[in-house]
Amino acid sequence: MTTFDPKLDPYASSRETTEGTVFSVTGGDWDSLVSEIGESKEERIIVNMGPQHPSTHGVLRLVLELEGETVTEVRTGIGYLHTGIEKNIEFRNWTQAVTFATRMDYLSPIFNETAYCLAVEKLLGITNDIPERASVIRVMMMELNRISSHMVALGTGALELGAMGPMFFAFRDREIVLDTFEEITGLRMNMAYVRPGGVSQDLPAGMTVKIREVVKTLRKNFDDNAKLLIGNTIWMKRTEGIGYLDLAGCTTLGITGPVLRSAGLPWDLRKMQPYCGYENYEFDVITADTADVYGRFLVRMAELEQSLRIIEQAADKLDKLEGQPVMVADKKIAWPAQLALGADGLGNSLDHIREIMGSSMESLIHHFKLVTEGFRVPAGQAYAAVESPRGELAAHVVSDGGTRPYRVHFREPSFNNLQSTSAMSEGGMVADIIGAVASIDPVMGGVDR
């Protein structure tokens, strides 16, 4: 048997490091390469995982340095889905910017919209003027969105570890939520429903009754995945003790959301820094003490019930607030003014058009300027944060006094949480990277904004 010489192999390049020779394998006779790997402790191979969708939750690239099947180093590569959303917002008026922000983390659009709008409302000084009905609708929509997002995290995470049934159940339940979104906003995703000053339109007639039916259905359906996975021997072997990251590691890296709560810290902005009236709702902050993939799975599963509790309370509040406005009274900000769902889609109601065109020329002129130019926001800067399904999502908004944002930058939890990939994976097996990344639940649309 001839000895493998990487210097003569056209498919392998090598470099000398303080730990020995490192080979970068790009192809060739795999059998001959495998036979040589592992003979010396210093030999490493470099493998690209991604950037492709399966198992990396989007176009995430992981550059792995391996010794056999043991991971010795992980580096994350991002930027493959860059959309320039933050820069594009600078070229749109304050209301139009919502349509960009909503497309950032495409699994939790309502949270993107709300964080941005809360920051704009701070700059406008109208935080306390937002109608209560609008705030309750925002809370209800965010909790529905938390459920649909967690369904993707749980379903795809299970599928990637070899369990197909939970994926079917999770996406069945997600469809119920997306259908509800469509009935309320006209769209299933990226709705641009939350606007500075409130929400774009009120709920359809009788919607709270349907919401309660949705809650009832989801509560029953959630048991399917709980029975399949909680305590399942195979599932626990793939998740217990995997992707370990303790509380010290989380706080050092700025990790938030279910990953942080799985390490035992009950940090949830809905409780710690309430917004949209969350202080008026009864719910629990779910934690675990395992600091591993299984703990993050349990946290998300338990958070589903807490979201249902909040949605039920929101429905009760909405019944009491029936007929109340959903947009601030100031007509210099309240745009779109009065929307209605017609045969040709969503637009200004005919009654509103007749009023501004037939009764007041000033109203027509003002409406035209509001739509084409937008309202002005006083110069300054504001920061507003919400608890998204992945952790602290915040918008830092800067105004120069004009009709467009001077700068908008988002504190996106997927971006911060991805820092934990190396800490979770190094020293473990290649197969366990899949579970670790799935438990972080990154969405690359938010990372690469």
Q: Are residues 160 and 121 in the same domain?
A: yes
Query: What is the Rg, in whole angstroms, of the alpha carbon atoms belonging to the chain?
Result: 25
Instruction: State how far the Cα of 123 lies from the Cα of 213, in Å rounded to an integer.
Output: 38
Q: Are residues 309 and 385 in the same domain?
A: yes
User: Do 253 and 419 meet the contact criterion of CB atoms below 8 Å apart?
Assistant: yes
- What are residue 231's phi and psi, to 5 degrees? 85, 0
pLDDT for residue 45: 86
Residue 396 has pLDDT above 70, yes or no: yes
Is 134 within the bounds of a domain?
yes
> Does the pLDDT at position 360 exceed 90?
no
pTM across the whole model: 0.85
- pLDDT above 60 (res 248): yes
Q: Please indicate, yes or no, whether residues 16 and 150 belong to a single structural domain of this protein.
A: no
Task: State both tokens at 94.
Answer: 């304050």
Q: Which domain holds residue 51?
A: 6-77
The residue among 301, 303, 297, 290 whose CA lies nearest residue 441 is 297
- Spatial neighbors of 353 by CB under 8 A, at least 6 apart, are none
Where would I find the H helices in 290-388?
Answer: 293-320, 350-358, 361-372
Residues 90, 68 within the same domain: no
The reply to whether 10 and 97 lie within a common domain is: no
Report the domain count for the chain.
2
Same domain, 31 and 173: no
Range with lowest mean pLDDT among 34-48, 143-157, 243-257, 420-434:
34-48
**pLDDT of the residue at 281:** 94
CATH number for the domain spanning 387: value is 1.10.645.10
Query: Do both 209 and 226 map to the same domain?
Result: yes
- The CA distance from 149 to 57, in Å, is 13
Given a cut of 50, is residue 405 above it in pLDDT? yes
Residue 296: per-residue pLDDT: 93
Q: Which helix (H) or strand (E) holds 63?
A: strand 61-67
CB burial readout 133-151, b (16+ within 10 A) else e: bbbbbbbbbbbbbbbbbbb
